[in-house]
Amino acid sequence: MPRDLVQDSLTALNEGVPTAPPRLSRRRRSAVLALDMDGDIACTLIARRRVGYVASETYLFELQNGEWTYLGGGGGPGDDLFRPRPAPTPEGEHLHPMGSAAIRRAPGRRGAWIRDIELRCSPQVASLSVNGRSLAVAEHGNVVVVWDSPNAPTLTAMDADGRALQTFRPAST
């Protein structure tokens, strides 16, 4: 875990997600694409240029003593991160799961585990409704959702007019 990527995540948690570049380069090796915060937990999604490919990495944080503390995360191939947003499936699925991660919380905290899911959204999706909060979907269509309850939240993909396009519940791992 590169220290600068944790710092990029902390900056995004405090200032918001910067506008993502259209692609990575030798000079721009990483970019924070999305984040989600739910009370005292948070997750960032980062595209990172590696040798020969782009990696998708999630970074999980917990608010401890008033400061965000990095706990861990997950990663995998991220070649789709900067490609055009995927079309809905013939069955009407607008949310396309790309990966997930989970990490144990500090002892004595509510919810024993922090979990995340990384999604790619169809072009029709403008936002996600997640347990009473709304997550805007950026132009690139990548989004991450974090939770700490044993049961995964219900996600509702919304169009720009506020109409529900799809309801989805991630698997609880």
For residue range 55-96, list pLDDT tens digits in order. 999 999 999 899 999 999 899 999 899 999 999 999 999 999
Residue 173 lies in a domain: no
Residue 141 lies in a domain: yes
Q: Taking a C-beta distance cutoff of 8 angstroms, is the pair 9, 29 a contact?
A: no
Residue 110 lies in a domain: yes
pLDDT of 144 above 60: yes
Question: In this predicted structure, what is the pLDDT of residue 172?
Answer: 67
Return the biggest CA–CA distance within the chain: 48
Mean predicted lDDT score pLDDT of the chain:
91
Q: Which domain, by its residues, includes 83?
A: 3-168
Question: In this predicted structure, what is the pLDDT of residue 51?
Answer: 86
Q: Please tell me whether residue 3 adopts helix, strand or coil conformation.
A: helix
Residue 68 lies in a domain: yes
Residue 116 lies in a domain: yes
Question: In this predicted structure, what is the pLDDT of residue 147?
Answer: 95
Predicted TM-score of the model (pTM): 0.92
Mean pLDDT of 126-155: 94
Rg (CA), the chain: 15
Residue 115 lies in a domain: yes
User: In terms of Cα–Cα distance, which of 128, 130, 129 is closest to 138?
Assistant: 128
Q: Looking at the 3D structure of the chain, how many domains does it have?
A: 1
**Which amino acid, residue 34?**
A
pLDDT of 118 above 60: yes
Mean pLDDT of 104-124: 87
Lowest mean pLDDT among 23-27, 100-104, 167-171: 23-27
Mean pLDDT of 141-145: 97
